[in-house]
Structure 1
Amino acid sequence: MADGSVGAGQHRDLADRSSLPTGAVVAYGSGDLAFNLYFTFCSLFLLYFYTDVLGISASVGGLIIMAALMWEGITDPAMGVIASRTRSRFGSYRPYLAFGAPLLALAFVSMFLPLGLSGNALAFFCLATHILFRTVYTVVNIPFVALSARMSADSLVRSRLAGARMLFAIVTGLFLAAATLPLVARFGGGREGFLWVATLYAFIATLVLLNCFKRTQETIGEAPDAHPTFSAMLRAVGSNRVFLLLLGATLVGSIGYAMGGKALLYYMKYYAGSEETITIGLTVSLAAAALSMLPWVKVTQRIGKRAVWLSGIAISATANILIFAIAPKAGPMLYGLLAFSGVGNAAFVLTFWSMLPDTVEVGEWQTGLRAEGALVGFLAFTQKVALGVGTGLIGILLDVIGYVPNAPQAPDTLTSIRGLATLVPAALAVGAGLFIYFYPLDTRTHARLVRAIGWRNARRRGRASSTPDNGQTT
């Protein structure tokens, strides 16, 4: 097994935090604009498209999304290992951005092709195209996420990268929430409207990913001859307690995030007001999240990632409980509480993605193997399975509680929808916080860890340079 030692100069001086240009930070962060034109679009509108546009039952639509997400989760670790073992003149991860972006656009658009199918044939088509999309998404997204661990070894620089990513992600979500349904209507509504909107989003995403490839560089990595095996990476993942705590929090929190996000659309359409309320409510929530992202980055530098995550949980859970207790309809009260929830969610998404690359050095210190691709893959596997389970459960539960698309809902059904949209995500967010409460890594500890790895690798290089070769001292 290769020891995963990094080459000379590959761990940056921690004091030189300005060494990563702002342009590179922005270019990397903009990658999440592209990915969220896909991911957030599907998260917000795909189940709605299946049920209220195509007429598929909520259970079938939810199970289609669950199956595709679970498939994506299965392929994520494999793609992480493949990307980690990739060697090219562009690096290990960047080539997938350049060559995968056009294929991802085509796979995304295929989900919305109006072929005139119905019944089982329509359901099978939706399943097949969604699985195709999720497969190509994995091939491009997993290397992108792992790339941040190769751009800098500094925890605070990584917070900047994660902050840039999340800012672009939230702004993109804000745009999607505000513009998608109006654009669908502008392009003719129904299946045709969704097809044209999907085509537009795919074109924009492709241009952004190509620019991300062009403007970023991999400056940290394994030695060129290091090709860790899958079993070695699996052992590295299993022995990394800090990563496993993040994994547990991801599993619980992502189930709640998926269930609450899906149910919220139905709450706003059928209880709070109308379909127009969906656009306003999502826009307000995501705008609040976007505006709070930079302040959360500053707060992270003062109190740490763990404290910020827990603070976000307290804010979002409180907002959700108040929405259920007060049961507001469209108006200032509802939109104010949704904004409050958005602020809490911003803390969650920021710390989630900025904690992940920090766990790479924990594993490298323990095993000598730098396996960011595998860690990203296993975390993404857990996240996708959780999102799939959450979406599938919402679809099934909507049918169980008597949901009928595009019709007035019974009072008991509305009460259940309110609970699914608020109490369930609040409870699961608290459950995720129990894992993060025991997360031990802070900025100072991580900095010491990076320095220790650098010293250890320097000693290894020193021993290697003094090893006799055919009787001669180097």
Structure 2
Amino acid sequence: MLTEKRQNVHTNSMQAETPGHKEMLNYGTGFFGVILVWTLVGTFLTFYYTDVAGISAGVVGTLMLVARLFDGVTDIGMGTLVDRTKSKHGKARPWILWMGIPLGVMTILLFSVPDIGNTGKIIYVYVTYIMLILVYTGVSIPYKTLLGLMTQEPYGRSVLNIYTGVFTMLSTLVITILAQPVASAIGGRLGWTSVAAFSGFIIIVTSFLAFHSTKERVGGTVNKTKENVPLRTGVKALFTNKYWLIITLYCVIAYTLNALLAGAGLYYTTYILGNAAYFSLVGLLLFLPTMIGFFFVAKLVRKFGKRNIALFVSILGIFGPIVKLIDPSSLSVFLVGTVIQGFGLVPIIMFLYAMINDTAEYGEWKFGIRTEGLVNSAASFGMKVGAGLGGALIGWLLAFGGYVGGIEEQTSLAVTMILALNIYIPFFLAVLQTVLMWMYKLDKQYPQILADLNRRKS
């Protein structure tokens, strides 16, 4: 009995322990590589397929949706694998070690479409994109789960998410600002393959660094003695977890919006504003609110909480598309609207992963079942569905408008579709995103939930 009490005291102290800033820094560095690949694929793959590889927009749109739906299904499987993994390194960290090199290789192959005829190219892009999805899932789900396993202390988890946000921002800016100019400077297919090779090398290095420099704390000895939760039981608990449902639907909406802002932006600067080079500036200004927020967010989170800040900036973001409508062909007006619209991205970068992991504690408190991997993978499914839906909308609406990649002037209907993808649809999605964040009120309950869980385990 005395041994059991000592064991529980040790477990609770491990759960309350917060990683130091050096460990948080290394975790964030690992996220830099993951987001580098995500941003490269999400922002430029559609353009690469249509304007460089010469694949029709309609085919690309269908590929994006089919592949992302498949991606979401693999997320659920990967989450279950993470929950069932037992090793001396934990249950999330080993996957980061194992899957880093395969992800780097597949990133390069994705942007190396050979000139083997239309049918051959379609087969190649389907095979390589689906393979990339498999290995990307093998890295990204463990990364997201690891955030919840490194600490259970709410403020520490929020700060850790802020670290990931900093590196998400840096990674996104590196790709958004430099990828298109570097690829253009090198020229043609080789230019994009070179950019992909750089990204692939980075993900390999950062994965090894994150594996060797982080530690899993939450769960401890208690979880190691428990049997695996049956998938059916875990899924049932998941879909009765109201806050997980809200945050997952939020992921669908937010990542559809993000996919449109990133993937359709290059078409807008090319055919509406008249200069593809403007896209780097648009990408920079889109993340300006988040860059400024990094200097204040930790204190604001401590005072107001994640949800309240996320709700406030989401409301601000709604006004971005409205400003753009003042004069859609004006660069200065478009840039002002972009900055305002960027507020809506703040929750995705700064708070989302912490909020997802908070729902794991709610599920354990409500139903007595803890499945961090399944919670993260199922929410990630929402992200992938959103990203796929956004990519599909770009391809399908461009095809509907008669868009032809590589020509100087597009049809008036194609231009209308580009406007819809960048202004009208994002406005509607921003409103939905705000409503969902208003419905998410877990922050108020979380301190009591954590206290109850610690009492149960002691």
Bigger Rg, structure 1 or 2: 1
AA at the equivalent of 2:206: V
Distance across 2 between alignment mates of 1:139 and 1:176: 22
> What is the CA-CA distance between 1:412 and the residue it aligns to?
4.2
> What is the CA-CA distance between 1:308 and the residue it aligns to?
1.8
Shifted more, 222-231 versus 144-153: the winner is 222-231
The answer to whether the 8 A contact 2:31-2:167 is kept is yes
Q: Does 2:10 align with 1:9? A: yes
AA at the equivalent of 2:188: G
> What is the CA-CA distance between 1:288 and the residue it aligns to?
4.2
The answer to whether the 8 A contact 1:262-1:421 is kept is no
TM-score (norm 2): 0.93
Query: 203, 206, 214: which is aligned to 2:204?
Result: 206
Runs of 5+ unmatched residues, structure 2: 1-6
AA at the equivalent of 2:165: M
> What is the CA-CA distance between 1:8 and the residue it aligns to?
4.3
Distance across 2 between alignment mates of 1:175 and 1:49: 18
Tell me the secondary structure at the aligned position of residue 325 of structure 1: coil
Distance across 1 between alignment mates of 2:200 and 2:152: 32
The answer to whether the 8 A contact 1:185-1:193 is kept is yes
Map 1:120-139 → 2, pairs under 5 A: 120-139=119-138
> What is the CA-CA distance between 1:131 and the residue it aligns to?
0.3
Tell me the residue number matched to 2:4: none
Q: Does 2:404 align with 1:408? A: no
> What is the CA-CA distance between 1:68 and the residue it aligns to?
1.5
Map 1:334-373 → 2, pairs under 5 A: 334-373=334-373
Tell me the residue number matched to 1:472: none
AA at the equivalent of 1:371: T
Q: Deviations over 1:293-350 (max 9, x none)?
A: 34334322222222222222222220122112321433x4332332222233123432
> What is the CA-CA distance between 1:26 and the residue it aligns to?
1.0
Distance across 1 between alignment mates of 2:264 and 2:360: 35
Distance across 2 between alignment mates of 1:7 and 1:223: 11
The answer to whether the 8 A contact 2:107-2:199 is kept is no
Q: Deviations over 1:369-390 (max 9, x none)?
A: 2111000111111221121122
AA at the equivalent of 1:236: A
Q: Deviations over 1:218-253 (max 9, x none)?
A: 011252132212112112212211111112222233
Tell me the residue number matched to 2:70: 71
> What is the CA-CA distance between 1:119 and the residue it aligns to?
0.5
Distance across 1 between alignment mates of 2:412 and 2:330: 14
AA at the equivalent of 1:392: A
Q: Deviations over 1:388-409 (max 9, x none)?
A: 1221122101111232223212
Q: Does 2:434 align with 1:436? A: no
AA at the equivalent of 2:191: G
Tell me the residue number matched to 1:168: 167
In structure 2, the CA distance between the partners of 1:333 and 1:433, relative to structure 1 (3 Å rule), is closer
Figure out how many residues of one structure are paired with residues of the other and give that number. 448
Map 1:32-43 → 2, pairs under 5 A: 32-43=31-42
Tell me the residue number matched to 1:393: 393
AA at the equivalent of 1:198: A
Distance across 1 between alignment mates of 2:66 and 2:45: 14
Map 1:128-167 → 2, pairs under 5 A: 128-167=127-166
> What is the CA-CA distance between 1:98 and the residue it aligns to?
0.9
Tell me the residue number matched to 2:54: 55
In structure 2, the CA distance between the partners of 1:280 and 1:260, relative to structure 1 (3 Å rule), is closer
> What is the CA-CA distance between 1:20 and the residue it aligns to?
1.8
In structure 2, the CA distance between the partners of 1:394 and 1:114, relative to structure 1 (3 Å rule), is closer
Q: Does 2:238 align with 1:240? A: no
Distance across 2 between alignment mates of 1:153 and 1:94: 17
Tell me the residue number matched to 1:329: 330
The two structures, once aligned, show a CA RMSD in angstroms of 1.9
Tell me the residue number matched to 1:451: 451
> What is the CA-CA distance between 1:41 and the residue it aligns to?
0.5
Tell me the residue number matched to 1:462: none
Q: Does 2:326 align with 1:293? A: no
Tell me the secondary structure at the aligned position of residue 298 of structure 1: helix
> What is the CA-CA distance between 1:203 and the residue it aligns to?
0.7
The answer to whether the 8 A contact 2:33-2:203 is kept is yes
Shifted more, 317-326 versus 73-82: the winner is 317-326
Runs of 5+ unmatched residues, structure 1: 1-5, 459-474
AA at the equivalent of 1:335: L
Tell me the residue number matched to 1:263: 264
The answer to whether the 8 A contact 1:284-1:339 is kept is yes
In structure 2, the CA distance between the partners of 1:112 and 1:176, relative to structure 1 (3 Å rule), is same
TM-score (norm 1): 0.90
Distance across 1 between alignment mates of 2:60 and 2:179: 20
> What is the CA-CA distance between 1:430 and the residue it aligns to?
1.2
In structure 2, the CA distance between the partners of 1:209 and 1:147, relative to structure 1 (3 Å rule), is same
Tell me the residue number matched to 1:196: 194
Distance across 1 between alignment mates of 2:115 and 2:410: 29
AA at the equivalent of 2:279: I
The answer to whether the 8 A contact 2:111-2:192 is kept is yes
Shifted more, 241-250 versus 123-132: the winner is 241-250
Q: Does 2:22 align with 1:23? A: yes
Q: Deviations over 1:257-311 (max 9, x none)?
A: 3233322221111111311111221123234432323433432222222222222
Tell me the residue number matched to 2:3: none
Query: 208, 218, 221: which is aligned to 1:220?
Result: 218
Tell me the secondary structure at the aligned position of residue 185 of structure 1: helix
Distance across 2 between alignment mates of 1:361 and 1:114: 44
The answer to whether the 8 A contact 1:289-1:344 is kept is no
